[in-house]
Amino acid sequence: MSTPSRFWREIPQRYRLEANKCKRCGYISFPPRLICPQCQNREFKETKLADKGKILTFTVIRVPPQQFVDQAPYAVGIVELDDGVKLTGQIVDCDFENLKIGQKVKIEFRKIFDAGEAGILCYGYKFVPE
């Protein structure tokens, strides 16, 4: 089982969508990086991800990992946010049959799963169709 530090050090990203933007080419890194993968520049300014976007692709997980067993079936998609960043996450509060590529979604803060018997609750972003 993981120690709590593994979860809390990701909080700026998972709770507040903190990213960084390359001062030279504008590439947005999420999570933040120390060197730009596009132009190898090392100077960034802090930014936050857009909170809306559209579904690029999606699936419905029927055979889940162990810590997601009580949630299955659930939808997971890749969403392109309005700032161009692409994120993987669950799509919730929807009928699977009505999900479509191109559909508009917004980001909401939700519980993701319980980490084992110690009961750490793991939070983060999920997508909700608008």
Partner 1 sequence: MREVAVIGVGMTKWGELWEKSLRNIFVETALLALDDAGVDKIDSMYVGSMSSGLFVGQEHIASLLADYLGQVPVPSARVETACASGGLALRLGFMEVASGMSDVVLVSGIEKMTDVSGYEATYALGTAADQEYEGYHGITFPGLYALMARAHMEKYGTTREQLALVAVKNHLNGSKNPLAQYPFEITVDSVLNSVMVADPLRVLDCSPITDGAAAVILCPVEMARKMKKPIVKITGSGHATDSISLSSRKDITWIEATYQAGKRAYAMANKKPEDIDILEVHDCFTIAEICVIEALGIVEKGKGGKAVEDEVTYLEGKIPVNTSGGLKAKGHPVGATGVAQVIEIVKQLRGEAGKRQVKNPKVGMAQNMGGSGGSTVVHIFEKE
Q: How is residue 115 annotated by DSSP?
A: E
Closer residue to Zn ion (CB): 26 or 116: 26
Question: Can you tell me which residue has the tokens 């390359």?
Answer: 22
Residue 38 interacting entry, from Zn ion, partner 1, none, C-beta within 5 to 8 Å by type: Zn ion
Residues across the chain: 130
Contact set for partner 1, span 38-97 (CB under 8 A): 56-66, 68, 71, 74, 76-78, 86-90, 96
Q: How is residue 84 annotated by DSSP?
A: S
Q: How is residue 50 annotated by DSSP?
A: -
Residue 128 binding partner 1, by CB under 8 A: no
List the 18-22 sheet strands across, edge first.
28-29, 18-22, 44-48
Give min distance, CB of 59 to Zn ion, in A.
31
- Check: CB of residue 107 under 8 Å from CB of residue 80: no
Binding site for Zn ion (CB under 5 A): 22, 24-25, 27, 36, 38-39, 41
Point out which residues bind partner 1 (CB under 8 A).
Answer: 10, 14, 31, 37, 56-66, 68, 71, 74, 76-78, 86-90, 96, 101, 112-113, 122, 124
